[in-house]
């Protein structure tokens, strides 16, 4: 989840949300107006079925943690490091025999 100010958070649910992948809308429900571990998420599947699930934790992510999580869940490709040319080493010449 990304909040105002482009801050990213990792939100864990208290149980599996079966309609989450195919839902039309996802909303946070909070009695205080702020998102915390006492809040819940409401998932609407577009067919009138709504599922309300409590949050078990909310944690701010550093940019490095966000990148690692995006790679882990297949939302971002890993950055491939360029292979460097091998260095010349003294004494590593090949001697041809007749």
Q: Give the tens place of pLDDT for each residue, 58-83.
A: 888 999 999 998 898 888 887 765 56
Order of strands across the sheet that contains 40-44: 2-3, 7-13, 50-61, 40-44, 25-29
In 3D, which of 53, 50, 54, 44 has the Cα closest to residue 23? 44
pLDDT above 60 (res 10)? yes
Q: Give the tens place of pLDDT for each residue, 28-42.
A: 787 777 777 678 888
46: left (phi over 0), alpha (psi -120 to 50) or beta: left
Domain annotation covers residue 77: no
More confident position, 3 or 58: 58
Domain annotation covers residue 91: no
Domain annotation covers residue 87: no
Mean pLDDT of the region 1-9: 68
Domain annotation covers residue 90: no
**Do residues 76 and 66 touch, judged by C-beta distance below 8 A?**
no
Provide the mean pLDDT of the chain.
78
């Amino acid at each position: 989840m990304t909040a105002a100010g482009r801050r990213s958070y990792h939100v864990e649910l208290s149980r599996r949300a079966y309609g989450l992948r195919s839902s039309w809308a996802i909303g946070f429900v909070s009695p205080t107006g702020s998102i915390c571990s006492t809040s819940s998420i409401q998932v609407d599947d577009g067919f009138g079925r709504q599922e309300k699930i409590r949050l078990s934790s909310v944690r701010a992510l550093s940019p490095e943690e966000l990148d690692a999580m995006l790679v882990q869940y297949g939302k971002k490709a890993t950055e491939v490091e360029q292979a460097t040319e091998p260095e010349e080493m003294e004494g590593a010449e090949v001697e041809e025999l007749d």
